[in-house]
Structure 1
């Protein structure tokens, strides 16, 4: 198998497209060697559209564990990690128990938080709101 000699299983009517497949095979080989080193056994295959994809990588006993850079992180970013574990659901001024008086919040937000505190404490806000038009 080389650039001008496709493997025996390759269809002869597609032999003129073999150089395009060969380039993909070389790129896959370069990626495998960069990630796992030389000598790692791997298998590739073709889609009906002649796209090369990695079918499997054989693990041989005695090979070391995968490199640390190849192991995926739990979350690709801190913002996504905060969204998944619930830290992003609660604003920072509410998550700080020392800030119970809401002194760090902006002035309009302090007023809203005071009303919410009154509702949570008494069950009813002590405000005089007009009745809705019916």
Structure 2
């Protein structure tokens, strides 16, 4: 089944939460503000990285000696979001301070499972930032 928002964007996502997210992304990307679009892109990349990391960690697919590698990779993703926000005057929007705090937690994580536990925090701040980018 296809779903369409009031702006004409169509999706086949059945899950209402995911569909609403996709419609929101469409609105942000089509609003004509490149900085907001890029922040959205980078926060989505960071969120996806955590959502891919978490199940791999929980399934035991990662080795404890990989902590430094994953800590750097995930911190780089978040850092890129924050830098893009700052460079474009978006570093004071709702969610920015929380994302900076998550970055500190990533950088200080002592174990892979500590990183995995941050996934829902990243997801929640993603929603906050997305709402801010949209002007909600």
Whichever of the two has the greater Rg, that structure is 1
TM over 0.5, yes or no? Answer: no
Higher strand share: 1
Q: Which fold has the larger relative contact order, with Cα–Cα distance below 8 Å and residues 6 or more apart in sequence?
A: 2
TM-score (norm 2): 0.23
TM-score (norm 1): 0.24
